[in-house]
């Protein structure tokens, strides 16, 4: 039974909420769900209705005649699913078992509504008798769907038309078996260390672990955490992840180890290789992590360097996949500095079919070598990469808006200048309005509310920021399970 909704499915749910709010209703009922399905153009539900020869406008008018008129000044600011509507959504997920789909589309919502109406689920769709008279029944809709498979046929292309997509645009099982140990003995210093199939397998393993199916291949094993930089998320999530796999961790701070000062990086790597089973290293220079991994005979994870933050980027794209059911064709706009997070994201995005825009002040643009590298990746994978200096223009039609602090660790002396240079580069209501209606807002944290992102956006309906933070735990647990 699928759980992830297509983009059209999510938009239908949002329109259903709008229909309820316009009428001052605090709850989204089945009537509102049906009206929500009738918005848009080339959706699965509308394709089914078209094949049945039904006039969408006539159906809308029929449904609206059954609803009580909206009283003046009664519009509410938010509406939630009623118990009946929740049953309909659950039934839509069950409908995917009948259609053998791994996503929930508008056609599944339509089938669920029709099945609910025929079975008399609590409060049925208003105008149900009229719908039957028009020939809108579950059996007819299911029959049409079995022939045309609408959501798979009518899918928005990048230029606004329609195309028949590859199933790769939807969550599918990876070619690499997603099982514990499938990356046994491997290190992760950069997102480029994993193939696209291995990333998909990692996401599949993450999904399994997050659902409660936790392997215990960490029993009797130890993870060492070498941190030259302070951390909340990386330290806690790696520690908890190792614990859940049945193992333990040991924390080694900057003063305790003294990489390259108290003793050489190579010597520390060789010692730890004889004592522990894996290392997560968080340091300034990427070359330090690279030298450590080259000497060590155990898996080494990059917990953050000045050049990359691969664990963060993987958790980010897992969050996008989880909340948007796809990564291919999405437009991700990073508003902020060329830092370790944006560098990992721009290197990972093309391989998952995501268009990437970096929006920053001109003097903070990536070096030409990075631009050539990522542009080449984008071309090879059929995606777009661009650098913009206008936040409003860059945010136009964005699926994901992402930001990070303006001043990273080690740049504290530049704080005053950066605050001035990045003053226009804040994710706020203006950028949200330029993006798509269901834009997802992400931030790797910690956040400086009121600087790179407005506080009401962090706590608003578009934010997936704390889901991101949670997924750091699950992705790192999957990584540990994969290499041990």
302 and 188 in contact (C-beta within 8 Å)? Answer: yes
Phi, psi of 103 (to 5 degrees): -145, 160
State the alpha helices, DSSP H only, in 135-264: 138-148, 150-153, 196-210, 233-244, 254-257
d(C-alpha 197, C-alpha 177), whole Å: 9
Phi, psi of 441 (to 5 degrees): -105, 130
d(C-alpha 180, C-alpha 476), whole Å: 13
Query: 227 forms bridges with which residues in the sheet?
Result: 253, 282
Per annotation, catalytic residue among 404, 443, 462, 476:
404
Sign, Cα dihedral of 285, 286, 291, 292: positive
Per annotation, catalytic residue among 10, 32, 282, 474:
282
Q: 40: which residues sit within 8 A by CB, 6+ positions away? A: 8, 11, 12, 15, 46, 106
Per annotation, catalytic residue among 10, 47, 444, 468:
444
Per annotation, catalytic residue among 472, 474, 476, 477:
472
Per annotation, catalytic residue among 7, 39, 47, 309:
309
| H, E, C per residue of 275-309 | HCCEEEEECCCHHHHHHHHHHCCCCEEEEECCCCC
Q: Are strands 155-156 and 162-163 parallel, antiparallel or unpaired?
A: antiparallel
Phi, psi of 442 (to 5 degrees): -125, 150
Per annotation, catalytic residue among 4, 17, 91, 312:
312
309 part of the active site: yes
424 part of the active site: no
282 part of the active site: yes
32 part of the active site: no
Phi, psi of 462 (to 5 degrees): -85, -15
DSSP conformation letters of 348-404: HGGGGT-EEEEE--GGGPPPHHHHHHHHHHHHHHT--EEEES-HHHHHTT-SEEEE-
Q: How far is CA 109 from the centre of its chain?
A: 22
Q: Which residues are catalytic?
A: 282, 309, 312, 404, 444, 472
């Amino acid at each position: 039974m699928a759980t992830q909704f297509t983009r059209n499915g999510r938009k239908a749910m949002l329109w259903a909420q709008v229909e309820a709010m316009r009428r001052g209703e605090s709850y989204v009922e089945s009537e509102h769900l049906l009206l929500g399905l009738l918005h848009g153009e080339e959706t699965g539900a509308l394709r089914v209705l078209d094949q049945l020869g039904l006039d969408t406008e006539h159906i809308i008018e029929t449904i609206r005649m059954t609803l009580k008129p909206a009283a003046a000044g009664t519009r509410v600011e938010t509406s939630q699913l009623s118990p009946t509507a929740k049953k309909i959504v659950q039934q839509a997920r069950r409908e995917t078992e009948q259609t053998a789909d791994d996503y929930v589309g508008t056609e599944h919502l339509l089938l669920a509504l029709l099945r609910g109406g025929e079975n008399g689920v609590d409060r049925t769709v208003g105008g149900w008798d009229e719908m039957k008279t028009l020939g809108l029944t579950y059996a007819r809709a299911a029959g049409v769907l079995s022939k045309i498979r609408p959501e798979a046929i009518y899918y928005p292309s990048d230029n606004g038309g329609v195309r028949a997509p590859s199933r790769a645009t939807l969550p599918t099982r990876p070619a690499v078996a997603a099982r514990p140990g499938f990356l046994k003995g491997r290190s992760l210093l950069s997102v480029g260390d994993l193939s696209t199939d291995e990333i998909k397998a990692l996401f599949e393993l993450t999904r399994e672990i997050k659902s409660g199916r936790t392997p215990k291949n960490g029993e009797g094993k130890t993870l060492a955490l070498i941190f030259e930089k302070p951390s909340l998320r990386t330290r806690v999530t790696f520690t908890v992840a190792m614990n859940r796999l049945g193992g333990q961790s040991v924390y080694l701070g900057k003063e305790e180890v003294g990489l390259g000062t108290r003793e050489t990086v190579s010597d520390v790597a060789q010692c730890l290789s004889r004592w522990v089973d894996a290392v997560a290293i968080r340091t300034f220079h990427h070359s330090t992590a690279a030298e450590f991994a080259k000497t060590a005979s155990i898996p080494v994870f990059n917990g953050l360097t000045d050049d990359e933050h691969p664990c963060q980027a993987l958790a980010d794209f897992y969050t996008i996949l989880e909340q948007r059911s796809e990564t291919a064709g999405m437009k991700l706009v990073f508003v902020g500095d060329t830092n370790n997070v944006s560098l990992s994201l721009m290197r990972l995005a093309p391989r998952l079919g995501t268009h990437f825009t970096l929006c920053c002040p001109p003097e903070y643009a990536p070096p030409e070598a990075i631009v050539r590298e990522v542009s080449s990746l984008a071309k090879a994978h059929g995606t777009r990469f661009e650098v913009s200096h206008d936040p409003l223009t860059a945010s136009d039609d964005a699926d994901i808006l992402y930001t990070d602090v303006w001043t990273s660790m080690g740049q504290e002396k530049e704080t005053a200048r950066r605050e001035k240079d990045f003053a226009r580069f804040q994710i706020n209501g203006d950028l949200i309005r330029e993006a798509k209606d269901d834009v997802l807002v992400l931030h790797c944290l910690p956040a400086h509310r009121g600087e790179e992102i407005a506080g009401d956006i962090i706590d608003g309906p578009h934010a997936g920021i704390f889901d991101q933070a949670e997924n750091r735990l699950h992705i790192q647990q999957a990584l540990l399970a994969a290499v041990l």
